[in-house]
C-alpha cells in the first residue's frame, strides 16, 4: 500500500515536471525570418531539456496572445517591441537580424534614399510587423496586406508604388510569383537585430535561454544552425538560396 502511494506521488511529480518543461510560443506567419526562427529556437530549449511548440499567427494576434499570457512568448521581434510591451521580457542577446527593404517596379521614377522619401508614395506593408510599422508611422498612404505575396501582387498591379519588407522575404515572394520587373533598393533602409521575447511570468527562463544563445554564438554552433535553417526555408519554397555577402 505504502509502495503504491509512493509510486503515485512519483508519477505525479514526473507529470508535473513534463508540463513545467513545455512552453508554447507564437511567430508571425508567412515571413522568411520567422520561419528561420521556428527552426532555430527549439535548439535553445533542447539545451535546457525543454520541449516547445510554435504557432504561426498574424502579427497583431501573436502580440495579443503574449500580452494576455495565453502563450509563453514570441520567437523573435525587434528591440523596440520590448519597450512597447512591458509584459514581454527581452532575452538580451539577439540571435538573428533583418533588413527593412523597399521594393518597386522598374522605370516608374521611384527615388528613395531615406525612409522619409517613402511618405510621397503609396506604400504596402504586412499587417502587424513592427519594423515596417515603425518606418511608416505617421505616413498617409500606407496599406496593410495579409502577406508578402499579396503585397507584391499589389505592387505588380500598380495599386501601390512601394512594398516594404525584409530583403530576403521580398526576394522569395518575387521569385515565387515570377515577377521580373520588381527591383529593390541598392541598400536597405535599416538593419535590425531580432530578439526572443518571453512572457513576464517566466523571468528565470529568459536568463537561462540568454546563456545558451551566448554559448552557441561563441562556439560557432549558432551560425551553422542558422545557415542550415535558411537553406531549408528556401528549399521549402522551391528556391535556390542566394549567396548574400555578410555585413
Chain-centroid distance of CA 102 in Å reads 18
- Are 54 and 166 in the same domain? no
- Domain ranges, residue 89: 2-94+196-236
Q: Answer for the pair 225, 216: CB distance below 8 angstroms, yes or no.
A: yes
Gap between the Cα atoms of 143 and 60, Å rounded: 15
> How many residues appear in the chain?
247
* Domain tally, the chain: 2
- Are 16 and 32 in the same domain? yes
Beta-carbon contacts of residue 155 (< 8 Å; ≥ 6 apart): 103, 104, 105, 124, 161, 162, 163, 182
Gap between the Cα atoms of 193 and 31, Å rounded: 16
CATH code for the domain in which residue 127 is found: 3.40.190.10
Helix (H, G, I), strand (E, B) or coil at 22: strand
Bridge partners (DSSP) of residue 182 are 105
Phi, psi of 72 (to 5 degrees): -85, -5
- Are 20 and 70 in the same domain? yes
pLDDT at position 247 is 28
In tens digits, what is the pLDDT along the chain, a chain of 247 residues?
Answer: 445 544 443 544 444 444 447 999 999 998 899 999 999 999 999 999 999 999 999 999 999 999 998 999 999 999 999 999 999 999 999 999 999 999 999 999 999 999 999 999 999 999 989 899 999 999 999 999 999 999 999 999 999 999 999 999 999 999 999 999 999 999 999 999 999 999 999 999 999 999 999 999 999 999 999 999 999 988 765 544 444 333 2
Gap between the Cα atoms of 18 and 51, Å rounded: 9
- Are 67 and 11 in the same domain? yes
Chain-centroid distance of CA 243 in Å reads 21
| Among candidate residues 46, 148, 155, the one with its CA nearest the CA of residue 98 | 148
Q: Tell whether 90 is covered by a domain.
A: yes
Q: Answer for the pair 150, 160: CB distance below 8 angstroms, yes or no.
A: no
Burial of 201 (C-beta count, 10 Å sphere; 0-12/13-18/19+) = exposed
Amino acid at each position: 500500500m505504502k509502495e503504491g502511494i509512493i509510486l503515485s506521488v512519483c508519477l505525479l511529480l514526473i507529470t508535473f515536471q513534463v508540463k513545467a518543461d513545455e512552453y508554447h510560443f507564437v511567430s508571425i506567419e508567412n515571413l522568411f525570418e520567422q520561419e528561420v526562427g521556428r527552426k532555430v529556437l527549439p535548439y535553445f530549449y533542447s539545451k535546457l531539456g525543454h520541449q516547445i511548440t510554435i504557432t504561426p499567427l498574424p502579427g497583431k494576434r501573436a502580440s495579443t496572445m503574449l500580452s494576455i499570457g495565453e502563450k509563453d512568448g514570441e520567437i523573435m521581434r525587434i528591440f523596440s517591441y520590448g519597450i512597447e510591451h512591458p509584459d514581454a521580457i527581452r532575452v538580451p542577446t539577439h540571435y538573428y537580424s533583418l533588413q527593412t527593404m523597399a521594393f518597386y517596379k522598374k522605370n516608374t521614377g521611384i527615388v528613395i534614399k531615406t525612409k522619409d522619401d517613402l511618405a510621397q508614395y503609396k506604400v504596402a506593408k504586412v499587417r502587424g510587423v513592427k519594423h515596417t510599422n515603425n518606418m511608416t508611422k505617421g505616413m498617409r498612404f500606407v496599406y496593410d496586406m495579409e502577406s508578402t505575396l499579396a503585397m507584391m501582387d499589389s505592387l505588380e498591379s500598380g495599386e501601390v508604388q512601394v512594398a516594404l519588407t525584409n530583403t530576403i522575404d521580398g526576394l522569395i515572394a518575387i521569385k515565387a510569383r515570377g515577377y521580373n520587373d520588381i527591383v529593390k533598393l541598392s541598400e536597405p533602409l535599416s538593419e535590425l537585430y531580432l530578439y526572443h521575447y518571453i512572457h513576464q511570468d517566466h523571468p528565470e527562463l529568459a536568463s537561462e535561454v540568454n546563456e545558451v544563445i551566448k554559448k552557441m554564438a561563441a562556439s560557432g554552433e549558432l551560425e551553422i544552425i542558422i545557415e542550415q535553417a535558411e537553406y531549408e526555408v528556401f528549399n521549402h519554397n522551391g528556391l535556390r538560396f542566394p549567396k548574400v555577402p555578410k555585413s
